[in-house]
Amino acid sequence: MATFPVIDLAPFLSPTSTRKERRAVALELDQACRNAGFFYLKGHGVPQDLLDNVRQHAIDFFETTSEDDKQRLALRSDDKARGYSRHVDAEKGSHEALDFYRPVEATGSPCGVGQGVNQWPTQPEDFRSVVETYVERMENLGRAVIEALALALGVDAKLFVSRVDEAFWQLRMIYYDRQTSPVSAKAGIGEHTDFGILTFLLADSTKGSLQVRSKTGEWMRADPIEGAFLCNLGDMLAEWTRGAYKSTAHRVVHVSDAPRISIPFFFDPNWDAFIEPVVPSRDGETEGRYVGVRYRDRFVGAMEEALVGVAALVA
């Protein structure tokens, strides 16, 4: 049995559905967001061959790219965000990553954190077009889920969508190495919450590696369901809903003798969006806990923190 609800988005996306059918999906999403903060999404409309293609490109990148070519794509010290990086943490776990983001016009030279354009692998030739096709589909999916949540929350969908209509998305390809011996470096990612709005995870079939912190503090397995995205909520959605929706902590502990690939698509607010609560405050809420936040400030702060321990950063 799946640990988290499996939600079929198809009736919400279909133009022939009734209001009642759309509303039923919205309420299912709403419940999942209030409870676990994690759910599986099927009926999302992103074609399986595109998912397979993106995943295969990620596997090939990490398994066949030479060290020199990886270094040519290494994160630069100005934008600190786009490109290849190797994260080394003996305690929490290590991994490699290749990051792409929505391009953001630079405000100066050198550009600020998160600004600028992506660095693309040159091989295979269709790498960029496959990823960009996927991103376009995922942006549409992100907006659809936001519309559903607006419906469930009873807030103006136009207001919600206006904060994500140029979403600062991030597509991250992550590689967790095989455990070669009991003493080799542990692969993984330490406990954290995501800081954006919604994360849509596409992963390989590895079980047991991704773990989610339950309300009572235990670690629960979040194993993949083929063809469905595993979705979780980020801190911006918690901020938007004054904590009614949960950004749930998770981690990766990968101790298999085979590597693991995962590809989260982070659907975040527009770079300049100000995210403030849209639902009324409840009795007993700590004064000033949800005061609103400029998304790009949060992003820059999170990046500075995340980059401690990055081993592949060019000067």
Question: Residue numbers of the site for ligand AKG (CB under 6 A)?
Answer: 172, 174, 189, 194, 201, 203, 210, 250, 252, 262, 264
Q: Which is nearer to ligand AKG, 259 or 277 (CB)?
A: 259
Q: Which is nearer to Fe ion, 265 or 295 (CB)?
A: 265
Q: Which does 241 bind (CB under 5 to 8 A by kind): ligand AKG, Fe ion, none?
A: none
Closest distance to ligand AKG from the beta carbon of 54 (Å): 15
Nearest of 49, 47, 45 to residue 10 by alpha carbon = 45
Euclidean distance between CA atoms 250 and 213, whole angstroms: 6
Instruction: Report in angstroms how near the CB of residue 264 gets to Fe ion at its nearest.
Output: 6
User: With respect to ligand AKG, which residue has the nearer C-beta, 197 or 210?
Assistant: 210
**Closer to ligand AKG by Cβ: residue 132 or 204:** 204
Q: Which is nearer to Fe ion, 139 or 194 (CB)?
A: 194
CB 81 within 8 A of CB 99: yes
Which one of ligand AKG, Fe ion, none interacts with residue 201, CB within 5 to 8 A by kind? ligand AKG
Q: Is residue 176 within 8 Å of 188, Cβ to Cβ?
A: yes
Distances in Å between the alpha carbon of 308 and those of 77, 251, 254?
Answer: 13, 17, 21
Q: Which does 174 bind (CB under 5 to 8 A by kind): Fe ion, ligand AKG, none?
A: ligand AKG
Minimum gap (Å) between residue 48 Cβ and ligand AKG: 20
Q: At closest approach, how far in Å is the CB of 119 from Fe ion?
A: 22
User: Residue with CB nearest ligand AKG?
Assistant: 262
Nearer to Fe ion, 147 or 268 (CB): 268
We find the least distance from the C-beta atom of residue 284 to Fe ion, in angstroms, to be 29
Smallest separation, CB 184 to ligand AKG (Å): 19
210 binds, among Fe ion, ligand AKG, none (CB under 5 to 8 A by kind): ligand AKG
- C-beta nearest to Fe ion: residue: 194
| Choice between 164 and 230, CB closer to Fe ion | 230
Binding site for Fe ion (CB under 5 A): 194
252 binds, among Fe ion, ligand AKG, none (CB under 5 to 8 A by kind): ligand AKG
